[in-house]
Amino acid sequence: MKKILFLLLLPFGLLAGPTQTVKIKTSAICEMCKERIEKNLALTKGIEKSDLNLEDQSNITVVYNPDKIDVAKIKQVIAETGYDADDVKAVKKSYEKLPNCCKK
Amino acid sequence: MLNPIQMNRLFLIIILFFSFPLWAQELNGRVMSLDDQGNMEDIPGATVYYSADKLGTNTGADGMFKLRVRTFPGWLIVRAIGFAPDSVWVEKSQFVHLHLTANNKELGEVKVVASPGGHDVQSIQSREILTMKTLAKAACCNLSESFETNASVSVNFTDAITGAKQISLLGLSGTYVQTQVENVPSIRGLKSTYGLNYIPGTWIRSIDLAKGQSSVVNGYESMTGAINMELVKPDTSEVYFLNTYGNSQGRFEINQQAVHKFNGNLSTALLTHYSQQVSRLDGNKDGFMDLPLFNLVNVMNRWKYASDKWMVQWGGGYLHEQRVAGQMNFEEKTSNRYFVYGFGSATSRFESFAKIARLFQTKPWKGLGLILSAADHRNDSYFAFKQYVGREQSVFGNLIYQSIIDNTNHTWKAGSSFLYDAYQERYLDSTYARRELVPGFFGEYIWTIPNRFTLVIGNRVDFHNQLGTKWVPRVHAKWDITPIWLARASVGKGWRRVNPLAENMGFLANARSIKLVGDLNPLEEAWNYGFSLSHEFQLANRKANLVFDYFQTDFTHQWIVDMEIAHAIRMYSNPGASYSKSAQIEFNYSPLPRLEWKAAYRFQNVASDYLSEIGGLRRLSKPFLNRDRVLVNLAYATKYDIWKFDLTWQWSGPRRIPNAYVHAGDAPEVNAPAFSMVYGQVTRQFKHWEMYVGVENLFNFTQVNPIMGAADPFARGFDATMVWGPVAGRMVYTGLRYKIN
pLDDT per residue as tens digits for the range B267-276 = 999 999 999 9
Per-residue pLDDT averaged across B438-458, rounded?
92
Q: Among A31, A78, A101, pick the best mutation site for testing chain B contact (most B Cβ within 10 A).
A: A101
In contact, B512 and B719? CB cutoff 8 Å: yes
B30, B237, B640, B683: best to mutate for the A interface, most A CBs within 10 A: B640
DSSP 3-state assignment of A35? Answer: helix
Q: Is the pLDDT of residue B601 over 90?
A: yes
Put simply, the chain A residues between 51 and 80 with a CB less than 8 A from any chain B CB are: none
- Find chain B residues with C-beta within 8 A of A50's C-beta: none
pLDDT over threshold 90, residue B376: yes
Instruction: Say whether B640 and A42 touch across the interface (CB within 8 A).
Output: yes
Under CATH, which number does the domain B4-100 receive? Answer: 2.60.40.10
Determine the residue among A39, A41, A102 to mutate to test chain B binding: the one whose Cβ has the most chain B Cβ atoms within 10 Å: A39
Residues B300, B315: contact at Cβ < 8 Å? yes
Can you give the pLDDT at residue B105? 31
**Measured distance CA(B543)–CA(B450) in Å, rounded:** 25
pLDDT digits 0-9 by tens, B178-192: 999 999 999 999 998
Q: With cut-offs at 50, 70 and 90, classify the pLDDT of residue B6.
A: low
Q: Where are the alpha helices (DSSP H) in B555-706?
A: none
Mean pLDDT of B442-460: 92
- Judging contacts by C-beta atoms under 8 Å, the chain A residues touching residue B642 are 42-43
Mean pLDDT calculated for residue range B199-211: 89
Q: How many CB atoms lie within 10 A of CB B548?
A: 16
Residues of B within 8 A of A32 (CB-CB) are 32, 40, 97, 99
Residue B422 has pLDDT above 80, yes or no: yes
CA-nearest residue of chain B to A99? B40
Average per-residue pLDDT in chain B? 86
> Domain ranges in chain B?
4-100, 111-740
Select from B40, B642, B686 the Cβ nearest to the Cβ of A32. B40
Close Cβ partners of B296 (under 8 Å, ≥ 6 residues apart): B197, B198, B273, B274, B275, B276, B319, B320, B321
Q: With a threshold of 0.90, does the pTM exceed it?
A: no
Q: How confident is residue B106, by pLDDT bands cut at 50, 70 and 90? A: very low
Q: Quick check: B687 and A43 CB within 8 A? A: yes
Report the range of poorest mean pLDDT among A11-15, A49-53, B199-203, B558-562: A11-15
* Contact partners, residue B699, CB within 8 Å, separation at least 6: B676, B677, B678, B730
The answer to whether the beta carbons of residues B457 and B442 sit under 8 Å apart is no
Q: How many residues are recorded in chain A?
A: 104
Arithmetic mean of pLDDT, B8-29: 56
pLDDT tier at B7 (50, 70, 90 boundaries)?
low
Q: Which of B32, B39, B685 lies closest to A43 in CB terms?
A: B685
CB < 8 Å to A28, chain B: none
CB contact under 8 A, A101 and B741: no
Q: Which domains does chain A have, with CATH numbers?
A: 18-102 (3.30.70.100)
The predicted model gives A18-41 an average pLDDT of 87
* B117 pLDDT more than 50: no
Are residues B721 and B706 in contact, defined by beta-carbon separation less than 8 angstroms?
A: no
pLDDT band at B354 (very low <50, low <70, confident <90, very high): very high
C-beta separation of B366 from B403 below 8 A: yes
Element (H, E) at B369: strand B367-383
Type of residue numbered B37: Q
> Which segment, A42-51, B199-208, B450-459, B488-497, is predicted with the most confidence on average?
B488-497
Given CATH 2.40.170.20, say whether it is the number of domain B111-740.
Answer: yes
* Strand-pair partners of B173: B168
* Gap between the Cα atoms of B603 and B630, Å rounded: 9
Region B168-174: mean pLDDT is: 88
Q: Per DSSP, which regions of B558-674 are E strands?
A: 559-562, 568-573, 578-592, 595-611, 617-621, 628-637, 643-652, 655-657, 670-672
Tens digit of pLDDT for each residue in B215-258?
999 999 999 999 999 899 898 778 899 999 999 999 999 999 99
Give the percent of chain B with pLDDT over 70: 91
pLDDT in the model for residue B437: 97
Cβ contact B38–A36 (<8 Å): yes
Torsion from C-alpha of B9, B14, B17, B18, nearest 10 degrees = -150
* CA atoms of A42 and B683, how far apart (whole Å): 16
Rounded mean pLDDT, B636-658: 92
Of A86-95, B33-42, B464-473, B664-673, which one has max mean pLDDT?
A: B464-473
Residue B18 scores a pLDDT above 50: no
Residue B265: is its pLDDT beyond 70?
yes
**Residue range B698-703: mean pLDDT, rounded:** 93
pLDDT exceeds cutoff 90 at B350: yes
Higher pLDDT, B125 or B688: B688
Give the range among B104-113, B453-462, B629-638 with minimum mean pLDDT: B104-113
**pLDDT of B397 strictly over 50:** yes
Chain B residues with beta carbon closer than 8 angstroms to that of A97: 237, 741
The whole-chain average pLDDT of chain A stands at 82
Distance CA B336, CA B369 (A): 54
- Residue B9's pLDDT is 59
How many whole angstroms separate alpha carbon B713 and alpha carbon B509? 10
Question: Least CB-CB distance to A99: which of B41, B639, B685?
Answer: B41
